[in-house]
């Protein structure tokens, strides 16, 4: 972690989300909102289809940072906006989400760095203002 500077790129990560992953996250998180497993309920609310939990996308995006720093205890702050839902079709291919991160600020006094995370699916950004502050 010695060579962290503005512009440092974090290793990228691509995740495939399938229906089974949403069911699994629903169980692990306790979020059983039916828009994350039922096409009927998702359509009734005007959604294009079953969508991934925003918090699942946020969890995957955090991995870009925690895989990089190794020790998750060094994450100080983490925030995102959910700009576009990730639609997860009921097929074997699922939905691919690509994550990347770049250091946008380094504060030598506090020993922290700020990382901007990019999350894209189907060529569109699914998270906005995704930022993490880590202790170096």
Partner 1 sequence: MPIDESMVGRKYPAAEPYQVGREKIREFADAIGDSNPAYRGDDAVAPPTFAFPLGSRALESLLADPELGLRLDRIVHGAQKFSYVRPIKAGDEITATATITTVRKAGGVDVIIYETELATPEGELVATCTSTISHAAEQAG
Q: Which residues bind partner 1 (CB under 8 A)?
A: 15, 21, 24-25, 27-31, 33, 45-46, 54-56, 58-60, 62-63, 66-67, 70-73, 75-82, 129
The residue among 7 and 13 lying less far from partner 1, judged by its C-beta, is 13
**Kind and range of the H or E run holding 104:** strand 95-107
Least Å distance, CB 79 to partner 1, is 3
The residue among 81 and 125 lying less far from partner 1, judged by its C-beta, is 81
Buried b (16+ CB within 10 A) or exposed e, 79-100: ebebebbbbbeeeeebbebebb
Neighbours of 37 (CB within 10 A): 17
Q: How far apart are the first and last CA of the chain?
A: 7
The residue among 48 and 79 lying less far from partner 1, judged by its C-beta, is 79
Least Å distance, CB 134 to partner 1, is 10
- In whole angstroms, give the CA distance from residue 125 to residue 10: 18
Least Å distance, CB 129 to partner 1, is 8
């Amino acid at each position: 972690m010695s060579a962290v500077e503005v512009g440092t790129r974090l290793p990228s990560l691509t995740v495939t989300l399938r229906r089974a992953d949403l069911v699994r996250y629903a169980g692990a998180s306790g979020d059983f909102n039916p828009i994350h497993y039922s096409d009927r309920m998702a359509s009734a609310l005007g959604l294009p289809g079953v969508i991934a939990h925003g918090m699942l996308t946020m969890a995957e995006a955090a991995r870009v940072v925690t895989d990089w720093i190794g020790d998750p205890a060094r994450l100080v702050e983490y925030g995102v906006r959910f700009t576009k839902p990730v639609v997860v079709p009921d097929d074997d291919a699922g939905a691919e989400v690509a994550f990347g991160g770049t250091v946008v600020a380094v504060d030598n006094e506090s020993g922290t760095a700020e990382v901007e995370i990019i999350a894209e699916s189907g060529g569109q950004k699914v998270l906005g203002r995704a930022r993490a502050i880590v202790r170096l």
